[in-house]
């Protein structure tokens, strides 16, 4: 049995990861400051004696004896990470320093949840890991993009200067059950708008693309990356290479929900990347043949069912005044 720390463990991806690590027979410590996470995402795990939840902020050092650390703490939705940009940078940079310092002290392996945002608005398509990116260092997304880029630099330098066992994954847009309905990301927005018969808000003309990965495929890639030998540190792209325009996503959501919602267009936020698609050849080679298994429509069906249920429970609570 390994003891594993998951920072950001009460968030969307972290809660799925905690559950999977527990199911595989590990002891899991979920650390979170609940900025965008919720206890309700992990409450069903709390009966398990091998699961612990700690309220803590990664910008402050934390000491514990563990074998592995998954560093996920950081808001991921543009709405949330732009809410307090300085805090977002502190979370990425000081969080990385604190988790790397901990890993160095106790000899643990530490995995950084980096992002496709390190490629910015890419001029190379699809994006391989050797592409350096095209990021506006003073734009509205820079608190996240540059924070994550600095964290990657810290991970590589702690590895090279201090022999810390590190792993870096670059995650592309991921969706699935347990996303927050109001976190502003496109999949949760479109599904919730469709389920409520509201207008579907496409920013810009909807020709910008993203490649959407179902959360189970990501968790599988993360665990495989952690299990690789010490000589492979990444970075490695973890994403689904099938690319969609936002118009195509909206049409799929409307069809699968049977909604009568109409599509409306709203202004495109600044620095919004025009295209994004991972090159996953390195992941396939290094992660034992890993590749995403869940196609978009299949993942959307599960995600729609989750939000539908959430909405019903919320309206029952409203009716019962609880």
Residues catalogued as catalytic: 144
- The interface with ligand NAD within residues 3-22 (CB under 6 A) comprises 7-8, 10-14
Q: Which is nearer to ligand UDP, 9 or 120 (CB)?
A: 120
Rounded distance between C-alpha atoms, residue 178 and residue 216, angstroms: 12
Looking at residue 134, the DSSP 8-state letter turns out to be B
171 is a site residue for ligand NAD (CB under 6 A): yes
Q: Which helix (H) or strand (E) holds 156?
A: helix 142-162
The rounded distance, in Å, linking the Cα atoms of 192 and 25 is: 35
Restricting to residues 197-236, name those near ligand UDP by CB under 6 A.
201-203, 208, 210
* CA–CA dist 252, 72 (Å, integer): 30
* Residue 222 contact, options ligand UDP, ligand NAD, none, Cβ 5-8 Å cut-off depending on partner type: none
Q: What is the DSSP letter of 66?
A: -
Stretch that binds ligand NAD, among 129-137, 171-179, 220-228, 284-292 (CB under 6 A): 171-179
Cross-strand partners of 299: none
Instruction: Please state, in angstroms and rounded to a whole number, the distance separating the CA atoms of residues 34 and 99.
Output: 18
Segment 159 to 178, residues that bind ligand UDP, using CB under 6 A: 173
3-state secondary structure of 4: strand
Stretch that binds ligand NAD, among 35-43, 127-135, 190-198, 261-269 (CB under 6 A): 35-43
Closest CA to 261 of 187, 184, 190, 203: 190
Residue 222: name the closest of 283, 151, 156 by CA. Answer: 283
Residue 246 binding: pick among ligand UDP, ligand NAD, none (C-beta 5-8 Å cut-off by kind): ligand UDP
Largest CA distance in the chain: 59
Identify the residue among 42, 69, 113, 226 touching ligand NAD (CB under 6 A): 113
Binding mask 44-83 for ligand NAD (x = CB under 6 A): -------------xxx------------xxxxx-------
Give the one entry of ligand NAD, ligand UDP, none that residue 100 binds, where binding means its C-beta sits below a cut-off of 5 to 8 angstroms depending on kind.
none
Q: Closer CB to ligand UDP, residue 98 or residue 257?
A: 257
Dist. CA 16–CA 8, nearest whole Å: 11
The helix/strand/coil state of 3 is: strand
Residue 57 contact partner, candidates ligand NAD, ligand UDP, none, CB within 5 to 8 A by sort of partner: ligand NAD
- Applying CB under 6 A, the residues found at the interface with ligand UDP are 78, 173, 185-186, 189, 201-203, 208, 210, 246, 268-269, 272
């Amino acid at each position: 049995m390994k003891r594993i720390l998951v920072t950001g463990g009460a968030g969307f991806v972290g809660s799925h990861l905690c559950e999977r690590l527990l199911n595989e027979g590990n002891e899991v410590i979920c650390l979170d400051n609940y900025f965008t996470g919720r206890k309700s995402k992990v409450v069903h795990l709390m009966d398990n004696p091998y699961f612990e939840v700690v309220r803590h902020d990664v910008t402050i050092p934390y000491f514990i004896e563990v074998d592995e650390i998954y560093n996920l703490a950081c808001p991921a939705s543009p709405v949330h990470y732009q809410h307090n940009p300085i805090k977002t940078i502190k979370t990425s940079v000081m969080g990385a320093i604190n988790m790397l310092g901990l890993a160095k002290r106790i000899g643990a392996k530490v995995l950084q949840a980096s992002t496709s945002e390190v490629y910015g608005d890419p001029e190379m398509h699809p994006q391989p890991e050797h592409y350096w990116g095209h990021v506006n260092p003073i734009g509205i997304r820079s608190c996240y993009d540059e924070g994550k880029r600095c964290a990657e630099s810290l991970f590589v330098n702690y590895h090279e200067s201090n022999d810390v066992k590190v792993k870096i994954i670059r995650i592309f847009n991921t969706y699935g059950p347990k996303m927050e309905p109001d976190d502003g990301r496109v999949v949760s927005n479109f599904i919730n708008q469709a389920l409520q018969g509201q207008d579907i808000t496409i920013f810009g003309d909807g020709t910008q693309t993203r490649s959407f990965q179902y959360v189970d495929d990501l968790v599988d890639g993360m665990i495989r990356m952690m299990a690789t030998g010490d000589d492979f540190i990444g970075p490695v792209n973890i994403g689904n290479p099938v690319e969609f325009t936002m118009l195509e996503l909206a049409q799929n959501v409307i069809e699968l929900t049977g909604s009568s919602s109409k599509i409306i267009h709203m202004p495109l936020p600044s620095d919004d990347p025009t295209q994004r698609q991972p090159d996953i050849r390195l992941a396939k080679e290094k992660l034992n043949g890993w590749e995403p298994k869940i196609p978009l429509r299949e993942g959307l069906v599960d995600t729609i069912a989750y939000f539908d249920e959430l909405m019903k429970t919320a309206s029952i609570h409203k009716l019962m005044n609880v």
